[in-house]
């Protein structure tokens, strides 16, 4: 069996994060070669995450501040949302390189296989890995942020021996394949919220992750699934992802939006589950007014600045189940692949742009709200395009 695609060039195009707002494109970076247990992936698509865009813009979560050290380690090739084809196998990678989600156990990878890998490359040794919480792994090596795990904004990338690979069915379009990671985050957030059949479930923020949450929540037989956003285009996508009601909180205003959601619930008590995916502080305060007592509030967002709310309502007024959700949990990737393979998830519409690698900065600026922000949702890079 060939362990290397004979068409691999010596050099490749890629984007490098060198600092805040400093993401140059190179046409002649050496193609990495896979070491023991590693896989070389020819990248088909790399999604630009809101996290990538916030890193580009200088968010303290990535660059550190008085209360935390920097997370990103420049220079590094960004990109943790991707799919591609195996171009080469390092020694031993066909037997024990990662694992897959098709029930076949570890390995068995071959050149030409279409795969993705979980965004967190877990160490397998820390407290969280030992507790079965690998997505919270302490070293927290996410592709594209730490130098030991260069990311997908390149023609080729290496999947380390500890990366957890998942097979991507050939029936998925490239846009569906690049939606696996955001959808897997939606799977985990909905798992945390644990909506029961008949519940009123609210998703605030209809970017790619919120749309993923809606798509997953739809499968839990909610009584009513409500989407909130400030963009009519995104609310239309929310309906396509299964929202029964899509409300524009910008045109309604906060008070009317709260009243509208409460009016949709049995007896006007308020929503059973609120999934926060907007990254806007106002959505937190709004959610606390929309939910009933003993509701579940799931926070997924990364915020540009600290959020202030009246914390006393968590206990005294609501006895709220307030939960965080991060990345994809244990089964997020496998569930996302299965959902996409089953059809009905409008990934073709969610992925609004496909750009060449040398337009990565323009893509990041689209995600950050520059120019035609209202018209962009998931922006993906296609390394085969020549800008
Ligand atoms: Zn992401
Ligand atoms: Zn770990």
Could you tell me the residue ranges of all domains in the chain? 11-179+345-381, 184-324
Instruction: Report which secondary-structure segment, H or E, holds 216.
Output: helix 208-218
Sequential DSSP letters for 171-198: TS-HHHHHTHHHHHHHHHHHHHH-PPTT
Ligand 2 centroid from CA 279, angstroms: 27
**CA 172: distance to chain centroid?**
18
pLDDT of residue 96: 44
Residue written as token pair 């996290």: 51
Domains 11-179+345-381 and 184-324 equal at CATH topology level: no
Kind of pairing, strands 156-159 and 291-299? unpaired
Minimum-distance ligand to the CA of 208?
1
Residue written as token pair 């490239």: 174
Asked whether the beta carbons of 184 and 54 are under 8 A apart, the reply is no
Ligand 1 centroid from CA 200, angstroms: 27
Ligand 1 centroid from CA 41, angstroms: 18
CATH architecture, domain 11-179+345-381: Alpha-Beta Complex (3.90)
pLDDT of residue 122: 97
Ligand 1 centroid from CA 108, angstroms: 27
CATH match for 184-324 among 1.10.150.120, 3.30.365.10, 3.20.20.140, 3.40.50.720:
3.40.50.720
Ligand 2 centroid from CA 269, angstroms: 42
pLDDT of residue 97: 41
Candidates 30, 340, 35; CA nearest to 176 is: 340
Strand, helix or coil for residue 77: coil
Model pTM score: 0.94
Ligand 2 centroid from CA 219, angstroms: 31
- Which residues are paired to 4 by β-bridges? 88
pLDDT along the chain (387 residues), means of 10: 85 98 97 95 97 93 92 98 97 61 57 97 97 97 98 98 96 98 98 98 96 97 98 95 97 97 97 96 97 98 89 96 97 97 94 96 90 72 93
Sequential DSSP letters for 300-344: ----SS-----THIIIIIT--EEEE--TTTTTHHHHHHHHHHTS-
Minimum-distance ligand to the CA of 139?
2
Sequential DSSP letters for 235-296: HHHHHHTT-SEEEEHHHH-HHHHHHHHHHHSGGG--EEEEEE-S--HHHHHHHHHHEEEEEE
Minimum-distance ligand to the CA of 302?
1
């Amino acid at each position: 069996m060939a362990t290397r695609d004979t068409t691999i060039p010596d050099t490749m195009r890629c984007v490098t994060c060198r600092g805040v707002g400093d993401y140059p494109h190179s046409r002649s970076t050496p193609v990495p070669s896979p070491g023991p247990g590693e896989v070389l992936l020819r990248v088909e698509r790399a999604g630009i995450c809101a996290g990538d865009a916030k890193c580009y813009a200088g968010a303290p979560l990535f660059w550190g501040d008085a209360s935390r050290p920097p997370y990103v380690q420049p220079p590094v090739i960004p990109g943790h949302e991707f799919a591609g084809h195996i171009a080469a196998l390092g020694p031993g990678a066909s037997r024990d390189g990662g694992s897959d989600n098709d029930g076949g156990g570890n390995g068995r990878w071959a050149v030409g296989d279409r795969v993705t890998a979980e965004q967190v490359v877990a160490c397998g040794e820390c407290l969280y890995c030992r507790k079965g919480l690998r997505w919270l792994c302490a070293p927290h090596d996410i592709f594209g942020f730490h130098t030991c795990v260069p990311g997908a904004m390149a023609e080729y990338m290496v999947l380390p021996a500890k990366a957890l690979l998942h097979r991507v069915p050939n029936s998925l379009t490239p846009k569906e394949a690049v939606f696996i990671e955001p959808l897997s985050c939606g799977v985990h957030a909905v798992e945390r919220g644990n909506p029961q059949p008949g519940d009123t479930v609210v998703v605030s923020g209809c970017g790619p992750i919120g749309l993923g949450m809606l798509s997953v929540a739809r499968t839990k037989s909610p009584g009513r699934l409500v989407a909130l956003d400030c963009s009519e285009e995104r609310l239309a996508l929310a309906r396509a992802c299964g929202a029964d009601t899509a409300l524009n909180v910008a045109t309604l205003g906060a008070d009317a939006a709260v009243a509208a959601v409460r009016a949709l619930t049995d007896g006007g008590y308020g929503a059973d589950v609120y999934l926060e995916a907007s990254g806007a502080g106002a959505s937190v305060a709004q959610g606390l007014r929309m939910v009933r007592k003993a509701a579940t509030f799931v926070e997924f967002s990364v915020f540009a600045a600290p959020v202030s709310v009246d914390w006393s309502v968590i206990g005294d007024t609501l006895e709220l189940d307030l939960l965080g959700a991060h990345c994809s949990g244990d089964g997020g990737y496998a569930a996302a692949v299965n959902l996409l393979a089953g059809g009905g998830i409008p990934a073709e519409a969610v992925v609004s742009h496909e750009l060449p690698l040398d337009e990565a900065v323009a893509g990041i600026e689209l995600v950050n709200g520059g120019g035609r922000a209202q018209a962009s949702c998931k922006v993906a890079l296609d390394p085969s395009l020549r800008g």
